[in-house]
Chains A and B, each alone.
Chain A
Amino acid sequence: MKLVKLTGIGASEGVAVGPAFVPATGWPEPERYRIKEDEIEAELQRFRDAAEAVTGKLSETADELRRSGHEEEAGIFEFHAEMAEDPELASAVEERIRSLESPEAAVLAVGEEYAAQFAEMDDEYLASRADDVRDVTGQISAELIGLGASGFGALKTPSVVLAHSLAPSETARIPKGMALGFVTAEGSRTSHVSIMARSMGIPAVVGVGEVLEDALDARKVAIDGGEGTAITDPDDDTVAGFERMSAELAEERAALDEYRYIEAKTSEGRRIEVAANLGSASEAVDALEWGAEGVGLFRTEFLFMERDDLPSEDEQYRAYSAVASAFGEKPVIIRTLDVGGDKDLPGVDQGHEENPFLGWRGIRMSLDTPDLFKRQLRAILRAAAHGNLKVMFPMVADVGELRAAKAMLQESRRELEGEGTRIGEVETGVMIETPAAAVCAAELAKESAFFSIGTNDLVQYTLAADRGNERLRRLQNADHPAVLILIRQTCEAASAAGIPVGVCGEAAGEPEMIPKLVALGVTELSMGAPSIPRAKKVVSGL
């Protein structure tokens, strides 16, 4: 036993201490490969029962996910359920059983045949279906062997789960209340495991890297999902510290509960809308539970990350409609793609950039890649038929860019109308994050329906201080006179044009910044959902 500190991405807030649990990986090996002639009928029946049981569990999981608003994940399980009850799979397995193969070995062999076929296809997306088939036939085989359908069968006391990565079929099988937190070697904030942790309300630290391998024999783990750290086999002082934090956090959350669903107003009666920043559609239900009155910033980058191809219009449409329908009449601001030279985009030659944050990114890239941009705009227009969507352009530096982007939106609208496709109305706004946009706010306001100030980038660009540079902490601060002047100017321009102005950077959720932002004229605050009740409390006290 040794104390090891693991550092990764804080993917879900919260603190927990508990025994470590490492799920068994892979599927159990069959112990028996051959059967006897007189066992055929009974073994055929056992196979059918096992396939039916697995199909039932998969469909149940799909229904559960759909009910809780996780449409994308539900689709995966539906596909898996169809595979588990596939008639061609069944007849191939039954044929093997009739030639005296054990059902648990037969189902794995047939799964492997299909997996090999898919893996051979020269289509990345299809090739990844190979793992889906193996996942499903592995579950049927495990059901036959009787080990339950996952490595979580042995999880009997509430524990912190340590794993290389966790597949949807695995997290879905964790017995209720048994996971206190997740620590994984792989993953990002938008990984499946992160989304699940946030919706389960338990802490998660992901992407800690290969060092996790050395910690797998740990007996106990303390995890801090806010900081993104986990300590294995912590000493008594560390445990006491974590337990104290955990209690404080629970107390703080309970005290803020009454503010969750209120409409925040200042003592003078100024109404301030408090909304959530979302990274993916799966976070919508949680955000509403935290009391979000809308989405002030829906980042679309997650659709483009961790993959080797570009998302289709339909895939984007599904993601945007999922969040639109979850929020109903409440407004959802979709920010068009904002990536630059610091992240690769397949099929787009970004070239090497010395200064990616000052480079070809946001609206600059979108205007230069009209096919990519229009695919996104078309998806947004179609999704707008299912809710109250608005579109926001990032990195705008002058009114010419705004006009060009609006012209492309108009063109996409006309195309869709020509095709007879159902679309909705969308308002267009500008993300104020370059100092240029703040300085030209009066001009931009005349052609925008709303503004949203992205304080993180506005601070970095105004103070010429890299967001990621630890030594510049002092300058990574929205509470700087230069930044406050730009915010005030933006608010004045918005007010003169009669349009709302939000803040969607970190500052919007900071209790000490909220009074200043409201005083400067901000009308909406958008933040990570768990900060919403606290922000509403701060506004109510002004």
Chain B
Amino acid sequence: MAERETTVGPEEGIHGRPAAQFVKAAKGFSSQIVIVKGDREVNAKSVLKITGLARKGEKVTIRAEGKDAEEAVETLAELVSADEP
């Protein structure tokens, strides 16, 4: 299992186009991936679940379990924190 904490970068938070791009990237990994914010834990491969999960500047944790967990966590944490994906 791998996990990393990061801060949401896009001005609008996670939804719309940034959310679609994030999910697309997440689906590229075979690991099970979740985003955790506070006590909520959602499937990172579901655009409906991650929409509205967090706003700019809020902290979230990406957690993955599987063969490519390390790489998934690294790539996705970077994507979440970028100003524009």
B12 lies within 8 A of A312 (CB): yes
A-B complex: 4 closest residue pairs judged by Cβ atoms: A312-B11, A88-B46, A75-B17, A82-B47
Any chain B CB within 8 A of the CB of A317?
A: yes
Question: Which chain A positions have C-beta within 8 A of B45?
Answer: 87
Question: What separation, in Å, do the CA atoms of A134 and B46 have in the docked complex?
Answer: 16
B51 lies within 8 A of A126 (CB): yes
Residue of B nearest to A133 (CB): B48
Q: How far is the CB of B48 from chain A (nearest CB, A)?
A: 5
B11 lies within 8 A of A314 (CB): yes
Q: How far is the CB of B52 from chain A (nearest CB, A)?
A: 5
B23 lies within 8 A of A82 (CB): yes
B51 lies within 8 A of A129 (CB): yes
Which positions in A face B, CB cutoff 8 Å?
75-76, 78-79, 81-83, 86-89, 114, 118, 121, 123, 125-126, 129, 133, 312-315, 317-318
A87 lies within 8 A of B46 (CB): yes
A126 lies within 8 A of B15 (CB): yes
Question: Which chain B positions have C-beta within 8 A of A133?
Answer: 48
* 19 A/B residue pairs, CB under 8 Å, sorted by A: A78-B17, A78-B21, A79-B20, A79-B47, A82-B19, A82-B20, A87-B43, A87-B45, A88-B46, A89-B46, A118-B51, A118-B52, A126-B13, A126-B51, A126-B52, A129-B15, A129-B51, A315-B12, A317-B84
Any chain A CB within 8 A of the CB of B67?
A: no
Question: Which chain A positions have C-beta within 8 A of B24?
Answer: 82
Interface residues on chain B, number (Cβ under 8 Å): 23
Contact with A along B1-36 (1 / 0, CB 8 A): 000000000111101110111011000000000000
Question: What separation, in Å, do the CA atoms of A76 and B13 have in the docked complex?
Answer: 16
Question: Taking A86-B46, A88-B48, A89-B48 as contacts, is the C-beta distance between A315 and B15 under 8 angstroms?
Answer: no
Any chain A CB within 8 A of the CB of B83?
A: yes
Question: What separation, in Å, do the CA atoms of A123 and B16 have in the docked complex?
Answer: 13
Question: What separation, in Å, do the CA atoms of A315 and B13 have in the docked complex?
Answer: 12
Question: What separation, in Å, do the CA atoms of A125 and B10 have in the docked complex?
Answer: 14
Known: A87-B43, A118-B52. 6 other contacts (CB 8 A): A79-B19, A82-B23, A88-B43, A314-B11, A314-B83, A318-B84
Question: What separation, in Å, do the CA atoms of A121 and B11 have in the docked complex?
Answer: 17
Question: What separation, in Å, do the CA atoms of A126 and B56 have in the docked complex?
Answer: 13
Question: Which chain B positions have C-beta within 8 A of A88?
Answer: 43, 46, 48-49
Question: Which chain B positions have C-beta within 8 A of A315?
Answer: 11-12
Contact with A along B52-85 (1 / 0, CB 8 A): 1001000000000000000000000000000110
Residue of B nearest to A110 (CB): B48
Question: Which chain A positions have C-beta within 8 A of B83?
Answer: 314
Tell me if A's interface is mostly helix, strand, loop or mixed. Answer: helix
Residue of A nearest to B52 (CB): A126
A83 lies within 8 A of B47 (CB): yes
Residue of A nearest to B85 (CB): A314
B48 lies within 8 A of A86 (CB): yes
Question: What separation, in Å, do the CA atoms of A125 and B13 have in the docked complex?
Answer: 10
Kindly name the residue among A79, A118, A123, A126 whose own CB sees the greatest number of chain B CB atoms within 10 A. Answer: A79
Question: Which chain A positions have C-beta within 8 A of B21?
Answer: 78
Question: Which chain A positions have C-beta within 8 A of B16?
Answer: 75-76, 79, 125, 129
B20 lies within 8 A of A125 (CB): no
A75 lies within 8 A of B20 (CB): yes
A78 lies within 8 A of B20 (CB): yes
Question: Which chain B positions have C-beta within 8 A of A82?
Answer: 19-20, 23-24, 47
Q: How far is the CB of B16 from chain A (nearest CB, A)?
A: 6
Question: Which chain B positions have C-beta within 8 A of A76?
Answer: 16-17
A314 lies within 8 A of B10 (CB): yes
Question: Which chain B positions have C-beta within 8 A of A87?
Answer: 43, 45-46
B84 lies within 8 A of A314 (CB): yes
Question: Which chain B positions have C-beta within 8 A of A81?
Answer: 20
Question: Which chain B positions have C-beta within 8 A of A78?
Answer: 17, 20-21
Question: Which chain A positions have C-beta within 8 A of B55?
Answer: 123
A79 lies within 8 A of B43 (CB): no
A313 lies within 8 A of B11 (CB): yes
Question: What separation, in Å, do the CA atoms of A93 and B52 have in the docked complex?
Answer: 21
Q: How far is the CB of A366 from chain B (nearest CB, A)?
A: 20
Question: What separation, in Å, do the CA atoms of A315 and B84 have in the docked complex?
Answer: 9
Question: What separation, in Å, do the CA atoms of A118 and B43 have in the docked complex?
Answer: 17
Question: Which chain A positions have C-beta within 8 A of B52?
Answer: 118, 121, 123, 126, 129
Question: What separation, in Å, do the CA atoms of A86 and B51 have in the docked complex?
Answer: 12
Question: Which chain B positions have C-beta within 8 A of A83?
Answer: 47-48
A125 lies within 8 A of B17 (CB): no
A114 lies within 8 A of B48 (CB): yes
Question: What separation, in Å, do the CA atoms of A257 and B10 have in the docked complex?
Answer: 44
Question: Taking A121-B52, A314-B10 as contacts, is the C-beta distance between A86 and B47 under 8 angstroms?
Answer: yes
Residue of B nearest to A89 (CB): B48
Residue of A nearest to B43 (CB): A88
Q: How far is the CB of B29 from chain A (nearest CB, A)?
A: 14
Question: What separation, in Å, do the CA atoms of A123 and B54 have in the docked complex?
Answer: 12
Question: Which chain B positions have C-beta within 8 A of A313?
Answer: 11
Kindly name the residue among B16, B19, B45 whose own CB sees the greatest number of chain A CB atoms within 10 A. Answer: B16
Residue of B nearest to A71 (CB): B17
Question: What separation, in Å, do the CA atoms of A112 and B54 have in the docked complex?
Answer: 22
Q: How far is the CB of A534 from chain B (nearest CB, A)?
A: 38
Q: How far is the CB of A79 from chain B (nearest CB, A)?
A: 4
Question: Which chain A positions have C-beta within 8 A of B15?
Answer: 125-126, 129
Question: What separation, in Å, do the CA atoms of A121 and B15 have in the docked complex?
Answer: 13
Q: How far is the CB of A138 from chain B (nearest CB, A)?
A: 15
Q: How far is the CB of B53 from chain A (nearest CB, A)?
A: 10
Question: What separation, in Å, do the CA atoms of A170 and B24 have in the docked complex?
Answer: 25
Residue of B nearest to A72 (CB): B17
Question: Which chain A positions have C-beta within 8 A of B43?
Answer: 87-88
